[in-house]
Amino acid sequence: MTSVARALAEARTRGIASLDAQLLLARVLATTRTGLIANDDRVLSDDELRRWTDLAARRAESEPVAYLLGEKEFCGLMLEVRAGVLVPRPETELLVDWAADLLHGQTRHPTVLDLGTGSGAIALALKHRFPQAIVTATDASPVALAVARSNAARLGLDVELLAASWWDGLKTRRFDLVVANPPYVAAGDPHLVALRHEPLEALVSGADGLEALTMIARDAVDHLDPDGWLLLEHGFDQGAAVRALLEAAGMAEIATRGDLAGHERVTGGRRRPAR
């Protein structure tokens, strides 16, 4: 017989983090983490044990907990996620917070564009915080767009979703604010082994990781209203390179914000006003 306590202990011996194991077992048993702890002598039924064994084995192979649960919390919103869609990261909330600083206090209807939206995390978080904003989100992946549409419908958030790769398909449209968390990992980066379950196209961007960031920065001015802002998430060691890209694109007020660990994570700039 396998009890809750034994199942969690065995998960630890397989290298599964305690929190991950508790979340997965709580889902199998239709309870909470608190419920697990309070009833750690509860014995799993044969069906529960089969489901738990499958989930534990997949987690031991580094499959993201979000895929196993089918959901991930981001900026207070519970989002559907599944294979083929990048799992939203906590550090991306820094991008949302900066965007919120720029949108705060605006009384009109600011236009916002989220390039490469994935699950819709950034676009939906901003629409949730600023209902008056007119938010558009794009992605080249049909799987990602389907998940984003599902999230938008379930949350009741009106976001325009378009099938497009970066600026393609947007023609002459301009926005007050453009945000993006594009792929920025270099091909061959050893960290990709641990990310093998997530879509490669949402992670890797050329030999140096700057391919997508370069394309977005290069044409940003053509899609920003005067004084419009562009905010880009990037790797912890890419801040200087992204600042150079924005400077080459003619942006002003270029700055970078770091995470709690002091790593540079988001760089932004404002389109120079027309003279």
* Full domain range(s) for residue 33: 4-61
Same domain, 90 and 179: yes
> Is residue 80 in a domain?
no
> Is residue 253 in a domain?
yes
Same domain, 57 and 192: no
Same domain, 56 and 108: no
> Is residue 208 in a domain?
yes
Same domain, 147 and 20: no
DSSP the chain: --BHHHHHHHHHHTT--HHHHHHHHHHHTTS-HHHHHHTTTPBPPHHHHHHHHHHHHHHHTT--HHHHHTEEEETTEEEE--TTSPPP-TTHHHHHHHHHHHHTT--S--EEEEES-TTTHHHHHHHHH-TTSEEEEEES-HHHHHHHHHHHHHHT---EEEE-STTTT-TT--EEEEEE----BPTT-GGGGGGTTS-GGGTB-TTTS-HHHHHHHHHGGGGEEEEEEEEEE--TT-HHHHHHHHHHTTEEEEEEEE-TTS-EEEEEEEEPPP-
The pLDDT of residue 64: 96
> Is residue 77 in a domain?
no
Same domain, 47 and 90: no
Same domain, 37 and 147: no
> Is residue 258 in a domain?
yes
> Is residue 91 in a domain?
yes
Same domain, 159 and 252: yes
CATH code, domain with 258: 3.40.50.150
Same domain, 37 and 157: no
Same domain, 57 and 92: no
Same domain, 96 and 57: no
Same domain, 131 and 267: yes
Domain count, the chain: 2
> Is residue 66 in a domain?
no
Mean pLDDT by 10 residues, the chain (275 residues): 94 95 96 92 95 97 96 97 96 97 88 98 98 97 97 98 94 95 94 91 94 97 95 97 97 95 96 76
The pLDDT of residue 63: 96
Same domain, 93 and 176: yes
> Is residue 81 in a domain?
no
